[in-house]
Amino acid sequence: MIKQRTIDIPTDFHDKRVCRDYLCGFCPYDFLRDLPVNYGSCPSVHSPILKANYEKAVQADPRQTFESDHVHSTERFISSIRKRASTLHTRLHKLPKDKKQARTMRQTVDKIYSNLLLKMDQVERLGDEGKVTEAMEALKQVKELRRNRQANQEQLHSLNNSEGHTNNVSICDICAVYLPADKVDTHNKGETHLKFFELRQVAKELKDSHLRKSIYRQSSRADRSSSKSEAKLQTA
Ligand SMILES: [Zn+2]
Ligand SMILES: [Zn+2]
C-alpha cells in the first residue's frame, strides 16, 4: 500500500514558517503581487486562521506582538530590491568591456579583409601565369578567409547591437527594473513605480510608529520605577 505524504502545516502562529508580516497585516509580496513585473511570492505560510489567533493573542497580551520582526522584515525586503537594482547596474556597467571587445573585433575584420584582397590578387596573378594548381590552392584560402570574415562580422554585429541596446537603457533604483530611454516617463507615473513608493512609505510609517511605541514604553517604565523609588523613600 502506498503511504500518503502528509503535509506538515503549522498550527501555531509562533512557527518560524509562518509569515509574520502577514500576521501583522502587511506582507510586501502580497502588496506587489498583481504588478506587471514579477517580484516573486512569499516563501512563508499565510494562514487566516493563524492570523486570527495571533490578533487574539496580541489583544490579550500586547507583549506577544511581532511588530519588531515585521519592521525589520519589511526593511530587509526593501534592501533586497536595492541589491537587485545594484546587480542590474553592475550588468549595465559591463558596457566598456563590450566596447573594447567590439573595437578589437573591428580590427580583426579589417585585417581579414585586407588579407582577402591580397589573396584574390594572388589568385588572379597565378591564373594569368597559368599556374593552375597554385591558383586553386590560393582560391581555397580565399574561401576560408571569406568564411572567417563573415563569422567575425556577425559577432561584431551582435556586439554593436548589444552596445546600442544598453546605451539606451537605464535602471530604476526604486523598482529595480531596466528602463528603455523612451519608457522612463511612463514608468515613473506607472503602477509599479507608485506601488514601490507606497511600500517605502508604509515601511517608514511602520518604523516610526514602532519607535514611538518603544520610546513610550521605556518612558512609562522609567516613570513607574521612579514612582516606586519615591514611594519607598516616603515609607522609609
Ligand atoms: Zn508573506
Ligand atoms: Zn521605478
Spans of all domains in the chain: 20-92+185-220, 95-168
- Report the distance separating Cα 112 and Cα 106, nearest Å: 10
Tell me: the pLDDT tens digits for 146-169?
877 777 777 676 666 655 556 688
pLDDT at residue 42, as a whole number: 95
Q: What is the three-class DSSP state of 5? A: coil
Taking the CA of 177 as reference, the closest ligand is 2
Q: Are 42 and 20 in contact (CB under 8 A)?
A: no
- Determine the average pLDDT of the residues in 193-217: 90
Which residues have CB atoms below 5 A from the ion given as ligand 1?
19, 21-22, 27, 42
Q: Which amino acid does the sequence have at 216?
A: Y
* Cα 157 to middle of ligand 1, angstroms: 46
pLDDT at residue 127, as a whole number: 82
Distances (CA, A) of 135 to 118, 120, 149: 13, 10, 21
Out of 2-6, 46-50, 105-109, 125-129, least confident range: 2-6
Distances (CA, A) of 157 to 26, 107, 114: 49, 13, 19
pLDDT at residue 200, as a whole number: 94
Q: How confident is the model at residue 230 (pLDDT cuts 50, 70, 90)?
A: low
More confident residue, 34 or 43: 43
* Cα 31 to middle of ligand 1, angstroms: 9
Tell me: the pLDDT tens digits for 94-144?
766 666 777 777 778 888 887 888 888 888 888 888 888 888 888 888 888
* Cα 144 to middle of ligand 1, angstroms: 60
Alpha-carbon dihedral 30, 31, 33, 39, rounded to 10 degrees: -100
- Report the distance separating Cα 196 and Cα 87, nearest Å: 18
Q: Is the pLDDT of residue 74 over 90?
A: yes
Share the mean pLDDT of the chain.
84
Q: How far apart are the first and last CA of the chain?
A: 78
Please tell me the number of Cα atoms within 13 Å of 181 on its side-chain side.
5
* Cα 85 to middle of ligand 1, angstroms: 22
Q: Is the pLDDT of residue 4 over 60?
A: no
Taking the CA of 35 as reference, the closest ligand is 2
Which of 193, 157, 153, 190 is closest to 173 using CA atoms?
193
Query: Exposed, middle or buried: residue 15 (CB in 10 Å: 0-12, 13-18, 19+)?
Result: middle
